Amino acid sequence: MQFTDAIGYRELADFSAHYNGSPARRAMTNALANTELADVTFDHRRLRDDRFHFSVELPTLPATNQERSGRCWIFAGLNVLRERAAKTCGLERFELSQNFIAFWDKLEKCGYFLESVIDRVDCPVDDRTLCWILSTGVQDGGQWDMFVSLVEKYGVVPKEAMDETYQSSHTGPMNGLLNTLLRRGAARLQSLARGGADADALHREKKDILREAYALLCTCLGEPPASFDFAWTDKDKAYHVDRGLTPKSFYEKYVAADLGAYVSVINSPTGDKPFYKTFTVDYLGNVAGGNEVRYLNLPMAELVSLAVRQLQEGEPVWFGSDVSKCGDRKRGIWDTEAFDYASAFGDDFAMEKGAALDYRESAMNHAMVLTGVELGEDGAPVRWKVQNSWSDENGDKGYYLMSAAWFDRFVYQAVIRRDLLSEAQRAALGEEPGHLPPWDPMGSLAD
């Protein structure tokens, strides 16, 4: 490829003069040579407003730790559900097994991957959709509807029934081996199809590949229990034991949440996604035949209002956002005004939300749980309290804070109880969803 307007020496001289003509830039160069960018640009004046006090605040259990894995969406989902079990059993500390859900997610994703390959088995290997399927492979990340599919099919178990392993908390090498197994299987499936194999033969091959995937997952994560005993001591020091439970009977007895009563509301202000319309994403899922990923796109003010109402009614909110922007992990703060990039670089790097999605500058990449909100005199949010899954070492013992402006700009999704929706919102939710390609920004996974 030939370009007609290459960078020339005169332009380089102009660039250099522009940079060296600013004493402030030279001073900033010296500062950044030995200090983290976030520390240099952090505006300490924001700490006056970024306080961990909230007018609506739910009592919740201690923060959890996903460690070096991309299972935040599982941790966030189970953090919501464990509150029900803890209340039922009178527990002050309790976790549901993230490893249990992650195991079934991985196996189901393997099946979904192979079904997707079979669905496009007649396509050339450079077909764009097939390339996306192959390059994406099986990851840790996921979405709310994927979480629901797993819980509805497999149930849940206490963490003691299937605890973490090193591999469950450090998933990179395991994922690499699993994807090698799957891509090798994809090559075999296409080879069989080119040789004239019918659908039955392809699905027999798929079953053989899944058998190997199951063995690999058991080796790394342990095999999920078919039944277990649940023993606990409640806050009054009384001992209890319930024997011979299955994951589904445990869920029905101690959690009993109607997950079908919740819907995913998004804010995607892009030209291809009108508000008050529903959308799904092709080839995005885990459980074949499970719930499709479905979003209702609403203006941000309506998403905010729904999240506040759910908190006011005593329920936490699973949500997804882009945590790579304007954050201080140690302090546990996300605030668009807390980092003075304009003074440091002469540019605030601001970008309109819709354009940031369209041009791949931003997308949902992490799921957490809203557990509180500070409301101003006008009833509008000032800041939000967030339960994260990055241990209890940062923020307020693992709880974080989001400014209202940051929330508006970088939150893309919230899971809301269906009965809180207005008639117009429910009507829109009932419409046939529009289909988005798998590489659409709204197809991004929380990890």
Known active-site residue 65 = no
- 3-class secondary-structure state, position 421: coil
> What gap in Å lies between CA 136 and CA 311, rounded to an integer?
35
Give the CA count within 13 Å in the CB-facing half-sphere of 156: 27
Question: How many residues are recorded in the chain?
Answer: 447
- 3-class secondary-structure state, position 240: strand
CA-based diameter of the chain, in Å? 80
Q: Which residue is catalytic, options 72, 110, 220, 326?
A: 72
Q: Which residues of 164-187 are buried (b: 16+ CB within 10 A; e: fewer)?
A: beebbbebeebbeebbebbbebbe
Known active-site residue 179 = no
436: β partners: 281
Q: Which residue is catalytic, options 326, 366, 394, 435?
A: 366
Known active-site residue 365 = no
CA separation, residue 283 to residues 2, 277, 399, 444 (Å): 36, 20, 34, 12
Q: Which residue is catalytic, options 291, 365, 388, 394?
A: 388
> What gap in Å lies between CA 407 and CA 322, rounded to an integer?
10
> What gap in Å lies between CA 259 and CA 256, rounded to an integer?
9
Active-site amino acid positions: 72, 366, 388
